[in-house]
């Protein structure tokens, strides 16, 4: 019995319904975690997604920005969510699957244009968010429970997580201070980076290609911003990771592609 869980920053769930249907037709993950749904709960296309087989849904949306959802073919338990950094933006949702696996879906703040905590409040928010996640992981002792943490974490921590390390070192998303914050979070939960468990760190691995750079995908000017982590109790269940790159070449794509985890 395997369990497949996908994460995808869709950059507006309403604009991406056709792509989501195409992805589900190709991969049919048991659970589909979305970020940046950009819609109020009451306007979420719940019926269309039920039609794709996702009868069980936890939606945490807001108007215009952010928003996450967990869609599942199997029953969900323990639906939950919390606020981070004393804001009521919708960046997190969690559930329990098959009675025991905890799943946390995150959309970490992007951090604004300038990697300067003092000059740019959005960058400060991003670092505070990552610190709060690490505190949570430690305080809740999540390392001892079977738990999957995934989503758009908006940090590409390794040199091979961006298309040009030297050139992008001072760009938000790839600065050393962000990578350090992410490393502290990884350590706080004793997490295994499932993507790098299957793809060696020497090998470039990307999940996002920007819209602005013409032909960014064709030239593979990518970043690894989307992550899938598991705690040690799930280490023995890791079967595969698939970065579904082809979704970036479809019409009207999201700038992120889905990543699929298989547990068995």
Partner DNA sequence: ATGACTTGTAATACAAGA
* Site residues for DNA per CB under 7 A: 9, 11-12, 14-15, 36, 38-40, 63-65, 109-113, 122, 152, 154, 172-173, 208, 210-214, 223, 225, 252, 255-256
Closest distance between DNA and the C-beta of residue 160, in Å?
A: 16
User: What phi and psi, each to the nearest 5 degrees, are found at residue 192?
Assistant: -105, 125
29 or 173: CB nearest DNA: 173
Closest distance between DNA and the C-beta of residue 111, in Å?
A: 6
Q: What is the largest distance, in Å, between two alpha-carbon atoms of the chain?
A: 51
Chain centre distance of CA 170: 23
115 or 146: CB nearest DNA: 115
Closest distance between DNA and the C-beta of residue 151, in Å?
A: 11
CA torsion, ordered 206, 208, 213, 217, to nearest 10 deg: 60
Dist CA 71 CA 259 (whole Å):
15
Dist CA 10 CA 12 (whole Å):
6
40 or 145: CB nearest DNA: 40
Edge to edge, the sheet with strand 68-72 lists 56-60, 68-72, 31-35, 3-9, 259-263, 238-243
Closest distance between DNA and the C-beta of residue 1, in Å?
A: 34
- Which tokens belong to 109? 């703040």
2 or 15: CB nearest DNA: 15
Q: Which of 103, 39, 51, 106 is nearest to 76 (CA)?
A: 103
80 or 110: CB nearest DNA: 110
- Which tokens belong to 163? 């298309």
Closest distance between DNA and the C-beta of residue 172, in Å?
A: 6
10 or 194: CB nearest DNA: 10
Closest distance between DNA and the C-beta of residue 121, in Å?
A: 10
23 or 223: CB nearest DNA: 223
Dist CA 64 CA 62 (whole Å):
6
> Which residues partner with 228 through β-bridges?
150
Chain centre distance of CA 158: 17
CA torsion, ordered 103, 1, 4, 157, to nearest 10 deg: 70
Closest distance between DNA and the C-beta of residue 201, in Å?
A: 19
């Amino acid at each position: 019995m395997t369990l497949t869980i996908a994460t995808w920053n869709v950059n507006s769930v309403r604009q991406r319904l056709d792509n989501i249907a195409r992805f589900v037709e190709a991969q049919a993950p048991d659970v589909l975690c979305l970020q940046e749904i950009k819609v109020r709960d009451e306007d979420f296309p719940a019926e269309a997604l039920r039609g794709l087989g996702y009868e069980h849904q936890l939606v945490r949306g807001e108007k215009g920005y952010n928003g996450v959802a967990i869609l599942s073919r199997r029953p969900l338990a323990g639906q939950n969510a919390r606020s981070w950094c004393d804001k009521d933006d919708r960046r997190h949702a969690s559930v329990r699957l098959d009675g025991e696996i905890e799943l946390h879906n995150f959309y970490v703040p992007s951090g604004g244009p300038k990697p300067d905590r003092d000059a740019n409040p959005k960058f400060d928010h991003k670092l505070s968010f990552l610190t709060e996640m690490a505190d949570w992981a430690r305080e809740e002792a999540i390392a001892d429970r079977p738990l999957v943490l995934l989503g758009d974490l908006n940090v590409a921590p390794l040199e091979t997580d961006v298309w040009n390390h030297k050139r992008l070192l001072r760009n938000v998303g790839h600065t050393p201070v962000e990578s350090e914050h992410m490393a502290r979070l990884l350590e706080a939960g004793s997490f295994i980076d499932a993507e790098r468990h299957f793809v060696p760190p020497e090998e470039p691995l990307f999940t996002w290609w920007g819209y602005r750079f013409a032909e960014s995908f064709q030239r593979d000017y990518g970043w690894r911003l989307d992550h899938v982590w598991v705690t040690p109790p799930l280490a023995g269940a890791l079967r595969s990771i698939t970065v579904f790159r082809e979704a970036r070449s479809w019409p009207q794509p999201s700038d992120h592609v889905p990543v699929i985890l298989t547990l068995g």
